[in-house]
Amino acid sequence: MRRVAIIGAGSVVFCKTLILDIMATEALEETEFVLMAPSTTRTTHVKSYIDRVIAQNSLKATVSITTDRREALTGANYVICSFQIGGLTAFEMDYKIPLKYGVDQCIGDTLGPGGVFRALRSIPVILDVARDMEELCPKAILLNYVNPMAMICWALGETNIQYVGLCHGVQTTLDLISGYTGVPKQEIDFITGGINHMGWFLKLEHEGRDLYPALREKFEQPEFYVNEKVRGEVFRHFGYFMTESTGHLSEYVPWFRHSKKALDLYCDEPAFGGASGAYYNWCVYVGNKYSDADMLTDESSDLPPRSIEYCAYIIEALETGKPFKFSGNLRNNGMIKNLPDDCCAEGLVYADRTGIHRTIVGDLPAQCAALNMTNINVQRLAVMAAKSGDPETVVQAIALDPLTSSVLTLKEIREMVTEMLDAESEWLPQFGNRRPRPTPTVHIPADVKRADVPIDPALAIFARLGELAQ
C-alpha cells in the first residue's frame, strides 16, 4: 500500500475532497491515509466518514488518525499539507488589525499584512515538515496547499525535498473563460505563466483560433464586465487575462482598495467580489454553524467523480507513468526567464513515473513580469523574515506591499507591524521579544532654519526659484 500523510487534516471539507479523489482513481485504490492534526476533534469525523465510504464501495483503502506529525510522516510516499497555523483566531488579527489602520483586505491570505503574517506563522512549520521528511521519508513528494502558496514554496525551494505547490485558480478561471467565449473548457488550449494568484494566460486558443479577441469584446460589455471588475480592468490595461479572481487580485495591486471611492467602484460585489473581509466572514459563519457538529454526518457514502483538484491526477501519474499536465508552483530556476531564479514561479508542469518536471515558459510580456515583481519583492522579504525572526525585515516587506503602501505612511506601517507581532506572538516564536525599533515623529517648528549643509545644485536652483517667486 502507498502511504499518504495529510498534515492539517482538520480542514474537513478539503481533506475529504482529496481523499475521495484518490479513492476514485482506480490505480490508487490501495492507499493508506494517515490524517494528522493537533487534535482529533475533526479528524475523527473525517475518519468516520471515509470508513463509511470504504465500506459501502468495498474499497481496499485504510484510514487512521494521529496527533503526532512524525508518526504520520514515517514511511510516507506522499505528503499533503493543508494546515493553517493560528486558525481563525490569528486570521481575525490578520484582517482586523490592518483594517483599523486603513488597510482593507478581502481575503488576506496571499499578500498584504494578512498574507505576510500567515507566512511568518507557516514557514517555520513547513520547514519542520521538510526536515522530518528528509529523515523519515526522504523519497516522498510533498503536495502543498498551504497559503501563501508562493512564499511557502519559496521556502521549500531552499530545502532538499521534492515538492510542488497546487492551486485551483487556473481550473476555475478556465470555467469563466469558457462561459465568456462559448468554448467548452476541455477544448481550450492554453499556456499560463507567472506567480501563484498572479499568473497570466499567455495563450488562449480553440482549434488554432485565438480566443483573446472574443474575450476582450466581452469585457467591453457591461453585463460581462460587472462580474469581474478588477480582473477586467487589469486585463484591459495590461493586455493579458489573469488566473485570479477579483476579490483576490484587488489586494495585490494598489488601484482598487486604497479609498472608499475605489472600493465602491470596483469592489462592491457581495461575497468574494471584493467585499471587505469576505473570506474571514465566511470562515466565521462556517465555524459558528459547525462548531459542535459533524459536517460530514449527512454526506453521501457514494464515491463521486474526481474533482478539479490536481492532487489525485499527479499521484496517479507518478504511480502509473500516465503523464499529467498541470499548473504547478516550483522554484523558478529558469522556468520564467524574466523573473528571479530563486523565486517561486507558477507555470506548466508535467508529472510522470520519473517525477515532477518544470517546462520552460520563457519571457513573460514585460508589463506582466513587472507587475509580478511588485509581489515577488514582498515575498522575498517575507521569507527572509520568517526564517530570521528579524522584525525590521517584516516592516520592510509590508512597506513594499502594493496595497499597504498606497494607504499608509512608513511610520504607520511600523506601528501596525508592531501591533500585529504583539498580538500574534504565540505563533511567532522566532521573533521572541524583538520588535521593530520605534521611530518618533520629528517635530518641525514653524520658524526652523535649515542646517547649513551642502545642497544638491539642482535642488539649490529650485530653492532659488522659490525665493524669487515669493
Q: Is residue 454 pLDDT above 90, yes or no? A: no
The confidence score (pLDDT) of residue 12 equals 83
The confidence score (pLDDT) of residue 385 equals 98
Split at pLDDT 50, 70, 90, the class of 240 is very high
Residue 448 forms part of a structural domain = no
The mean pLDDT of the chain is 93
Q: Is residue 106 pLDDT above 70, yes or no? A: yes
Residue 31 forms part of a structural domain = no
The confidence score (pLDDT) of residue 272 equals 57
Residue 120 forms part of a structural domain = no
Q: What are the residue ranges of helices labelled H in 149-268?
A: 149-156, 169-181, 212-218, 222-225, 229-238, 246-249, 260-266
The confidence score (pLDDT) of residue 213 equals 97
Return the exposure string of 271-296: e unless at least 16 CB atoms fall within 10 Å of the residue's CB, then b: eebbbebbbbeebeeeeeeeeeebbb
The mean pLDDT value for 329-353 works out to 97
The mean pLDDT value for 230-241 works out to 96
The confidence score (pLDDT) of residue 270 equals 62
Single pTM value for the model: 0.94
Residue 356 forms part of a structural domain = yes
The confidence score (pLDDT) of residue 271 equals 54
Split at pLDDT 50, 70, 90, the class of 394 is very high
Residue type for position 109 = D
The confidence score (pLDDT) of residue 470 equals 66
**Look-up: residue for cell 489586494?**
251
Percentage of residues of the chain with pLDDT beyond 70: 97
Q: Is residue 57 pLDDT above 90, yes or no? A: yes
Split at pLDDT 50, 70, 90, the class of 429 is very high
Query: What is the Cα–Cα distance from 240 to 138, expressed in whole angstroms?
Result: 40
Residue type for position 184 = P
Residue 161 forms part of a structural domain = no
Q: Is the model more confident about 446 or about 73?
A: 73
Task: Say which of 168, 206, 225, 290 is annotated catalytic.
Answer: 168
The mean pLDDT value for 393-401 works out to 98
For the annotated binding site for Mn(2+), the residues are 167, 197
Split at pLDDT 50, 70, 90, the class of 251 is very high
For the annotated binding site, the residues are 147, 167, 197
The H or E element spanning position 35 is: strand 31-36
Split at pLDDT 50, 70, 90, the class of 331 is very high
The confidence score (pLDDT) of residue 193 equals 97
Residues 413-427: pLDDT tens digits? 999 999 999 999 999
Q: Is residue 192 pLDDT above 90, yes or no? A: yes
For the annotated binding site for substrate, the residues are 147
Q: Is 168 a catalytic residue?
A: yes
The confidence score (pLDDT) of residue 298 equals 83
The confidence score (pLDDT) of residue 235 equals 96
The confidence score (pLDDT) of residue 33 equals 97
Q: Is 313 a catalytic residue?
A: no
Q: Is residue 459 pLDDT above 70, yes or no? A: no
Q: Is residue 352 pLDDT above 70, yes or no? A: yes
The sign of the torsion formed by the CA atoms of 416, 418, 424, 430 equals positive
The confidence score (pLDDT) of residue 439 equals 86
Residues 64-102: pLDDT tens digits? 999 999 999 999 999 999 999 999 999 999 999 999 999
Number of compact structural domains in the chain: 1
Residue 237 forms part of a structural domain = yes
Split at pLDDT 50, 70, 90, the class of 26 is very high
Residues 256-307: pLDDT tens digits? 999 999 999 998 776 557 889 999 998 898 888 777 777 788 888 999 999 9
394 Cβ contact partners less than 8 Å away, ≥ 6 residues apart: 116, 120, 381, 382, 385, 417, 421, 436
**Domain carrying residue 376:** 88-107+167-294+303-428
Residue 52 forms part of a structural domain = no
Task: Say which of 252, 266, 279, 280 is annotated catalytic.
Answer: 252
**Look-up: residue for cell 467602484?**
265
CATH number of the domain at 97, please. 3.90.1820.10
Residue 266 forms part of a structural domain = yes
CA atoms within 13 Å, Cβ hemisphere of 48: 13
Reading the block at residue 251, the C-alpha cell is 489586494
Q: For the chain, how big is the Rg over CA atoms in Å?
A: 24
